[in-house]
Amino acid sequence: MILSKRTWLAFSLVSMTCLSSHVFAGSTLDAIQKKGMIHCGVSDGLPGFSVPDAKGKILGIDADFCRAVAAAVLGDASKVKFSQLNAKERFIALQSGEVDILSRNTTWTSSRDAGMGMKFPGFVTYYDGVGFLVNHKLGVKSAKELDGATICIMAGTTTELNVSDYFRANNLKYAPITFDTSDESAKSLESGRCDVLSSDKSQLYAQRSKLANPEDYVVLPETISKEPLGAMVRNGDDEWLAIVRWVGFALLNAEEAGITSQNVEDQAKTTKNPDVARLLGADGEYGKDLKLRKDWVVQIVKQVGNYGEVFEKNLGKSSPLQIDRGMNALWNNGGIQYAPPVR
């Protein structure tokens, strides 16, 4: 039997986990600069996070995060090659070196952060939680009315355990049906093969938007878990981990300071605010610590936007999903998004 590349890599995952800290230590940035491109793993098609448009360009907050990393490292947000990965493929692709960064609506958990040879940099792209999407005709208004339901779930996700825990804790029964792709699970809900679709709530809104009659479906009010979603990198390369982490923090700090894609260049030249001057490279050499150019934050915001701009375009009221900022608002505006300072 001839195995595909990813199938063969699945058999090697355990050994790769043990070796990754030695094989990849300190090499990711060098490799990226040599090839002039960042290879980014994204979802297999989730509106608002990463989905191809009519011309094949990958759009979404996860895709834009990779563009922000490219702007910081290479000075050009377009220097990204995207690989669309399903939930099962994503970790193998990162472990093997097929992608340099995984930016694919992935939940930060202890086992993924400490037991799989990979690391979450510490920047949460989107704070989320698992919920339930149902057709109005099912006649339920609460997840506690789902006793005996058939539930579509994406395989290889934290949703499987979260749903199991919730139904057991509430003395409810259910029948799970698992799928490899988000499209398969959404189509199964639409066809009536399952009564309920369970996933992170952001994904439910995204999947609902792809159905033939979105208005026929409702996301139930319960949020049954914590799902901090963010990028991942391989373990053992602290240099690359720090870069990815601080790109995320730069997006947040820029929004907090009122720095946008429209005013960033002017602010870099004229600001009298010492925090803004340090952030934009007008004062000090803080990019050197990350092996980045002095204007790395300027390039991020100029080419991609600050966090608020990226959120609004892809997920917010200006997008088809129209999701409220909620917890993803800045800490000083009712949310929990917070970044350490550049200094």
At residue 72, φ and ψ (nearest 5 deg) are: -70, -45
pLDDT band at 180 (very low <50, low <70, confident <90, very high): confident
pLDDT for residue 26: 60
Domain 5-127+228-333 fold is D-Maltodextrin-Binding Protein; domain 2 (3.40.190)
Question: With the CA atoms of 269, 270, 272 and 273 taken in that order, what torsion angle do they form, in degrees rounded to the nearest 10?
Answer: -60
pLDDT for residue 182: 81
Q: How far apart are CA 63 and CA 338, in angstroms?
A: 21
pLDDT for residue 161: 94
- pLDDT higher at 44 or 64: 64
pLDDT at 88 over 90: no
pLDDT for residue 12: 45
**Least confidently predicted of 24-28, 183-187, 238-242, 272-276:** 24-28
Q: How far apart are CA 330 and CA 232, in angstroms?
A: 22
Domain 130-225 fold is D-Maltodextrin-Binding Protein; domain 2 (3.40.190)
pLDDT band at 2 (very low <50, low <70, confident <90, very high): very low
pLDDT for residue 210: 87
Do residues 133 and 218 make contact, with C-beta atoms less than 8 angstroms apart? yes
Q: Which pair of structure tokens corresponds to residue 130?
A: 């698992």
Q: If you average pLDDT over every residue of the chain, what do you get?
A: 92
Please write the tens of the pLDDT for every residue from 245-288.
999 999 999 999 999 999 999 999 999 999 999 999 999 999 99
Q: Which pair of structure tokens corresponds to residue 248?
A: 């995320």
Please write the tens of the pLDDT for every residue from 95-142.
999 999 999 999 999 999 999 999 999 999 999 999 999 999 999 999
Q: How far apart are CA 215 and CA 166, in angstroms?
A: 27
Please write the tens of the pLDDT for every residue from 157-167.
889 999 999 99
Do residues 89 and 6 make contact, with C-beta atoms less than 8 angstroms apart? yes
Q: For residue 201, with 0-12 CB atoms within 10 Å meaning exposed, 13-18 middle and 19 or more buried, which class applies?
A: buried
CATH 3.40.190.10 in the chain is located at 5-127+228-333, 130-225
Those residues whose C-beta lies under 8 Å from the C-beta of residue 179, and which sit 6 or more positions away, are 152, 153, 154, 155, 185, 188
Do residues 40 and 85 make contact, with C-beta atoms less than 8 angstroms apart? no
pLDDT for residue 17: 43
Please write the tens of the pLDDT for every residue from 195-229.
999 999 999 998 898 899 999 999 999 999 999 99
Q: How far apart are CA 318 and CA 304, in angstroms?
A: 16
pLDDT at 24 over 90: no
3-state DSSP helix/strand/coil percent for the chain, to nearest 5? Answer: 45, 20, 40
Q: Which pair of structure tokens corresponds to residue 134?
A: 């149902």
Please write the tens of the pLDDT for every residue from 286-321.
999 999 999 999 999 999 999 999 999 999 999 999
